């Protein structure tokens, strides 16, 4: 009896979570999710100051994509194409500010 009550609460929470994810997906690129994914996986070797150092390496959106792909493989984290786009969007909008509009995969 106790167990099934607990499952009911868990299912309710999962339904709520799904509802909020759907709202986010409808908005397109999700910078908050990109930041969250980045902070989970990308701070073990460098902190964000590497993106803004005076001689930073990445000089275009294409270079940013390539660099993130390389670093992501170094971490070994698996992200969906949408999650990769969110991380790249987060980095671009927060640190690099390359041309707006490109790089959005929906
Ligand atoms: C295994 C260690 C390691 C991890 C983990 C790592 N990076 Fe890196 N990253 C590096 C190194 C080393 C450099 C600097 C390369 C250089 O200076 O030539 C770098 C540089 C970068 C740059 C370019 C900075 C510039 O100069 O403009 C970006 C962007 C970047 N990393 C993104 C990420 C992202 C996103 C993640 C998470 C998926 C990540 N990194 C995780 C090692 C790592």
Give the pLDDT score at 99: 85
Q: How far is the CA of 101 from the centre of ligand 1 (A)?
A: 24
Give the pLDDT score at 5: 52
Q: What is the mean pLDDT of residues 2-27?
A: 53
Give the pLDDT score at 29: 79
How far is it, in rounded angstroms, from Cα 14 to Cα 79? 21
Site to probe by mutation for ligand 1, drawn from 31, 33, 37, 46 as the one with most ligand atoms within 8 Å of Cβ, is: 46
Is the domain spanning 29-96 CATH 1.10.1220? The answer is no
Q: How far is the CA of 71 from the centre of ligand 1 (A)?
A: 5
Give the pLDDT score at 90: 97
Q: Domain map of the chain by residue range?
A: 29-96
Is the pLDDT score of 103 beyond 50? no
Q: Which residues contact 64 (CB under 8 A, 6 or more apart)?
A: 58, 88, 91, 92, 96, 98
Percent of the chain with pLDDT over 70: 68
Q: What is the mean pLDDT of residues 14-41?
A: 73
pLDDT in tens, 44-76: 999 999 999 999 999 999 999 999 999 999 999
Q: What is the mean pLDDT of residues 26-40?
A: 89
């Amino acid at each position: 009896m106790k167990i099934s009550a607990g499952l009911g609460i868990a299912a309710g929470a999962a339904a709520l979570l799904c509802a909020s994810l759907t709202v986010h997906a409808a908005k397109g690129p999700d910078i908050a999710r990109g930041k969250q994914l980045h902070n989970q996986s990308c701070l073990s070797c460098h902190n964000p100051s590497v993106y803004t150092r005076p001689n930073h390496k990445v000089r275009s959106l294409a270079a940013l994509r390539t660099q993130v792909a390389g670093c992501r493989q170094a971490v070994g984290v698996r992200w969906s194409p949408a999650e990769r786009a969110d991380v790249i969007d987060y980095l671009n909008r927060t640190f690099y500010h390359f041309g707006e509009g490109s790089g959005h995969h929906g």
